[in-house]
Structure 1
Amino acid sequence: MATARGNVDEIRNRVILGEFGVRNVHTTDFPGNYPGYNDTWDMQTFQKNFRIDVVQLNDNFMEFDMVGIDAAIANAFRRILLAEVPTMAIEKVFIYNNTSIVQDEVLAQRLGLIPIKADPCLFEYRSSDKDSAEEEESEIDTIKLRLKIKCSRNPSAGKDSSDPKELYLNHMVYSRDIKWVPIGNQADVFADGNIGPVHDDILIALLRPGQELDIVMHCVKGIGKDHAKFSPVATASYRLLPEITLLDTVRGEKAERLKGCFSQGVIHLEDMNGEKVAKVVNSRLDTCSREVLRHDDLKDLVKLGRVRDHFIFSVESTGILTPNLLVTEAIKVLMAKCRRFLSELDSTDME
């Protein structure tokens, strides 16, 4: 009976990678997928098993484990990170002068994709019924930026020089040339803030003597669902935790080949009585390529699987917000969705 229970536990908790397919592909906690197994959802059990472990965190990247959760929730969290965490981005571009070779439409598109460093929590969504005229900007929903630059010849350039960097001044327009123009009381409110492009080395256009740009930009609050320029992440993805189990001792030349079948750091060779023996030291590093299954003398010695409810998340920020803040905001959005859903259920029951 214990063996049968163990087999059901393995079926429910592991995704097994075979030579020609994948077994136990169910990734949902919805009751009834596994006959003979009492998988009724329980809050206390969920609270006991659920955890989040931060593995790596810096200014632009975060890796963390989300354990004990349903795949539907994990994927909802990923989609919120991509499309529903608000940021500030350039929405309106007023081109007063553009004599560069870059067309107005292309230039506006390039400007719109430049990530703007500003806390979206300090701004409101711009009303859709506002007129698009420049006079309608407001300090509570708009950030105003200005790009005014003109290329000229460098009078101190050498006669024999052919390098544009020496011949011309302001011939390369970078994001650092975009300046913040405070609206209303923004200069006081954001006195300590550094509003502007996240990166100062983004190339916008190339100019030659006499060519110039005179552009005003309006940044507004939005979400990635409306346009990709509002998405706060460069990448947001997850994968299931790999699990590699050796079914028998692998020695000598087989151990060497076994090590080469996996990503670096997964298999370690230990010296036992003068012979190399393979040991699994870090399954997490594996990419589940199933290369080992191509070797007839090795494929029956290894079981490849993935832990069904252990998700490894990777979040790379565009720099607008730090990754840990992005994760926090995504959780808030998910909680708001749940509250709204429960509210709708309550109102339906009352009717």
Structure 2
Amino acid sequence: MTMEVDILELSDRSAKFVLSNTSAAFANGIRRASLADVPTIAITEVNIYNNTSVLYDEQLGLRMALIPLTSNMEDFVPKEECSCGDFCPACQVSLTLSAEGPKIVYSQDLVSSDDKVQPADPNIPIADLREGQKIVLEAIAHMGYGNKHSRWQAGVACGYKNMPKVEFSGCDLCGACVTECPVDIIKMGTESAEISQEDMLKCTLCRLCEGVCDIDAIDVKTDEHSFIFTMESDGSYNTKELILNAGNVIKNKAASLAEILSAL
């Protein structure tokens, strides 16, 4: 049984697709890998030299840590795995910020020591500085994984549900299910109520139509081997890269497990 992928929507920041001929375990593996196992670069340390804004130093540090950064991950290794002993361009990137009010400070005001490491969105607000207020700091970014801290979480709002299957048998065309459906996907045909394949994707599996039918003509089920998947990226990867990297994580873990088992 070969897994199939049907792309419904795809953009740089979001995707919606149907995974067919697979298991809930694999679908959940993709979800978990995109959230926790795909590496990113994120700010972990902030050296503040001057801060006369209304934000406490801690608040400023938290805002900096949650700015998604783009990068070429092949150029980096986690700090604890680097052989440099202290820090080097392979495990650490410096981003500086020097701003004076009146102005709103945005992520685009950060100056990176590595041209490939930049804020994923240039218009993330950091602080609103009034006349005479200043922020001068250096932010240090490292590579990491979402399973260690949410600052490294590349995937956001990742989830899936089973493909709905709604079957009609012996329908008396009373129309009660049409009225009851909260997403308005049930239409009345000439011989029975029906739902188009496109509208089936909108079904929330609430089963209100099933409950309102007095003659049990509606059977709401799910396809245990087909899943509607939605995913959003924080911008450190585009959505396609995030999905492919999540798949590669599962592939590499499976290969590693196979090697371990073969050595037993």
TM-score, length of structure 1 as denominator length? 0.69
Does the aligned pair in 1 maintain the 2:168–2:192 contact within 8 Å? no
Does the aligned pair in 2 maintain the 1:82–1:232 contact within 8 Å? yes
- Per chain length, whose mean CA-contact separation is higher, i.e. which structure has more relative contact order (CA < 8 Å, sep 6+)? 2
2:12 is aligned, of 59, 63, 70, to: 59
Report the AA paired with residue 202 of structure 1. I
Q: Shift of the alpha carbon at 1:262? A: 2.5
Does the aligned pair in 2 maintain the 1:97–1:213 contact within 8 Å? yes
CA distance in 2: counterparts of 1:114 and 1:205, whole angstroms: 13
Query: Partner of 2:58: helix, strand, or coil?
Result: helix
Does the aligned pair in 2 maintain the 1:144–1:180 contact within 8 Å? yes
Identify unmatched segments of 5+ residues in structure 1.
Answer: 1-45, 152-168, 183-189
Partner of 2:260: 344
Partner of 1:325: 241
2:124 is aligned, of 202, 210, 213, to: 202
Partner of 1:268: 187
1:283 is aligned, of 179, 200, 212, to: 200
Partner of 1:258: 177
Does the aligned pair in 1 maintain the 2:23–2:226 contact within 8 Å? no
| Shift >4 Å, 4+ stretches | 128-132
Identify unmatched segments of 5+ residues in structure 2.
Answer: none
Report the AA paired with residue 239 of structure 1. K
Partner of 1:93: 46
Report the AA paired with residue 249 of structure 1. C
CA distance in 1: counterparts of 2:163 and 2:75, whole angstroms: 38
Deviations 1:246-292 (A, max 9, x none): 112342xx32x31233354522234x4xxx96322132210011212
Q: Shift of the alpha carbon at 1:232? A: 0.6
Does the aligned pair in 2 maintain the 1:87–1:119 contact within 8 Å? no
Does the aligned pair in 2 maintain the 1:245–1:303 contact within 8 Å? yes
Does the aligned pair in 2 maintain the 1:119–1:321 contact within 8 Å? no
2:56 is aligned, of 77, 85, 103, to: 103
CA distance in 1: counterparts of 2:51 and 2:24, whole angstroms: 50
Larger gyration radius, structure 1 or structure 2:
1
Q: Shift of the alpha carbon at 1:214? A: 0.5
CA distance in 1: counterparts of 2:6 and 2:39, whole angstroms: 25
Q: How many residues align?
A: 262
Residues 220 and 207 from structure 1, CA distance in 2 versus in 1: closer, same or farther, beyond 3 angstroms?
Answer: same
Residues 59 and 265 from structure 1, CA distance in 2 versus in 1: closer, same or farther, beyond 3 angstroms?
Answer: farther
Does the aligned pair in 2 maintain the 1:243–1:284 contact within 8 Å? no
**1:120-159 pair list within 5 angstroms:** 120-127=73-80, 136-151=86-101
Does the aligned pair in 2 maintain the 1:99–1:212 contact within 8 Å? yes
Does the aligned pair in 2 maintain the 1:265–1:285 contact within 8 Å? no
CA distance in 2: counterparts of 1:69 and 1:284, whole angstroms: 18
CA distance in 2: counterparts of 1:65 and 1:114, whole angstroms: 30
Q: Shift of the alpha carbon at 1:209? A: 1.9
Report the AA paired with residue 339 of structure 1. A
Report the AA paired with residue 133 of structure 2. Q
Deviations 1:82-104 (A, max 9, x none): 10000111111111111112111
CA distance in 2: counterparts of 1:120 and 1:77, whole angstroms: 19
CA distance in 2: counterparts of 1:277 and 1:342, whole angstroms: 51
* 2:157 is aligned with 1:235: yes
Q: CA RMSD in A?
A: 2.2
Partner of 2:214: 297
CA distance in 2: counterparts of 1:310 and 1:231, whole angstroms: 26
Partner of 1:77: 30
Q: Shift of the alpha carbon at 1:322? A: 1.0
Does the aligned pair in 2 maintain the 1:246–1:280 contact within 8 Å? no
1:173 is aligned, of 78, 101, 105, to: 105
